[in-house]
Structure formats: C-alpha cells, structure tokens
Amino acid sequence: MQSSLIGKIEKAKRYAQETERVTFSELSVKFRGEHDTYTTEYKDGKWHCSCHFFSSWRLCSHTMALEKILGNMLPKEALSTQI
Ligand SMILES: [Zn+2]
C-alpha cells in the first residue's frame, strides 16, 4: 500500500474518535418507533418528524433521541433540549 494512503487511514482513525470535528448540516433518517416507522429530519435549521406528537409540540421522542445519539455532531441550534 502506498505510504500516502497509510497516512490517510491513520488520520481517519484519529478523526473518527474526534466526533466534534463533524457537524451535520442536514440529515434524514427512518426511525423505527414502537408502533410505526417515522421519517425524522433536520433541515434548514429545523427538526421535522412525521409522527403525530411532533406536529403539535415541534419536538418528539425521535428528535430528542437523535439529539442524544448525535450529541456534539449537531449544530447548537439543533439542540432543543438538555436530556
Ligand atoms: Zn417523532
């Protein structure tokens, strides 16, 4: 293997530990809830979720779970709660 590629692989391993280097600007996931599967998205600085709860509260267990999963990889404005 070329030494330049070996260097990149080493760097990638280090970067993978330093998750604060990565900030999602948008994302879309299929979220399997207990009763149904929902589309949960972060786009244009806002959360969206196809579940019923979200439509009245603008947040839900799915958006809050993603905040917890992604933690410091989300922009500050995406963190609506301190859970
Ligand atoms: Zn939801």
- pLDDT tens digits for range 34-44: 999 999 999 99
Distance 52 CA to ligand 1 centre (A): 7
| pLDDT higher than 60, residue 82 | no
How does residue 6 score in pLDDT terms, banded at 50, 70 and 90? very high
How does residue 45 score in pLDDT terms, banded at 50, 70 and 90? very high
Residue with tokens 């809050």: 64
37-43 and 46-49 strand pairing: antiparallel
The rounded distance, in Å, linking the Cα atoms of 64 and 50 is: 14
The rounded distance, in Å, linking the Cα atoms of 1 and 3 is: 6
Distance 18 CA to ligand 1 centre (A): 29
| Predicted TM-score (pTM) of this structure | 0.85
Distance 69 CA to ligand 1 centre (A): 15
The rounded distance, in Å, linking the Cα atoms of 78 and 64 is: 10
Q: Which amino acid is at 2?
A: Q
Distance 64 CA to ligand 1 centre (A): 9
Distance 3 CA to ligand 1 centre (A): 47
